[in-house]
Amino acid sequence: MKIVLLGYMASGKSTIGKLLAKKIELPFVDLDDYISEKEKKSIPEIFEEKGEIYFRTIENKYLKEYLNKNENFVLSLGGGTPCYANNMQVLKDNNVHSIYLQSSIATLVKRLLENRSKRPLIANVEVEKVPEFVAKHLFERRFFYEQASITLKIDNKTKKEIITELR
């Protein structure tokens, strides 16, 4: 079974992905970690040194590479992965089950403000402008996220409740 978790930055894709993978006994991989390993650089370093367009190009390349090589997995995507380079179609073509972890703007802003440094797109946004940034960004991205096979609302739910709903 091929499962991907998608959604905005800080929606819990990696945390829930790891727990789900353990529960259903499938290997777990985070696409950002896969990209970092392949490029031998952190995500902020890639953005800093080569820019976002380069990142989007290799994100698409490594997503396809991973899907080609693996049959059974839980994969968490980056927040922008579904929105670039026709990646939602790539998932559909590979018969991947996709799960959108949907969260309110308030929850995302709260979580993002706790740790912005590892997220280059938001690291330099002034604190008071973060809510507006997230609202606009999410408005642009929802179209892609909503193409997922399943949408799961995660606000006010414990990790355990989310995993139970997914099973």
Query: Binding site for ATP: residue ranges?
Result: 10-15, 119
Count CB-CB contacts under 10 A for residue 87.
23
Contact code string over 23-52 relative to ligand S3P, x by CB under 6 A: ---------x----------x---------
Q: Which stretch binds ligand S3P (CB under 6 A): 62-70, 77-85, 95-103, 157-165?
A: 77-85
Secondary structure (3-state) at 53:
helix
Residue 46, both tokens: 């890639």
- Told to check if 17 binds ligand S3P by CB under 6 A, we report no
CA 134 to chain centre: 15
Residues with Cβ within 8 Å of 165's Cβ and at least 6 positions away in sequence, in order, are 152, 157
Of residues 120 and 131, the one with the C-beta less far from ligand S3P? 120
Binding site for Mg(2+): residue ranges? 14
Query: Among residues 97, 100, 122, which one has the least CA distance to residue 111?
Result: 122
Instruction: List Cα–Cα distances, 87 to 38, 73, 75, 148, in angstroms.
Output: 19, 17, 14, 11
Which residues are known binding-site members? 10-15, 32, 56, 79, 119, 141
- Tell me whether residue 26 or residue 46 sits nearer to ligand S3P (CB atom): 46
Instruction: Please give the residues from 86 up to 125 whose contact with ligand S3P meets the rule CB under 6 A.
Output: 119-121
How many chain residues touch ligand S3P (CB under 6 A)?
A: 9
Instruction: Please tell me what DSSP assigns to residue 57.
Output: H
Interface residues with ligand S3P (CB under 6 A) are: 9, 32, 43, 78-80, 119-121
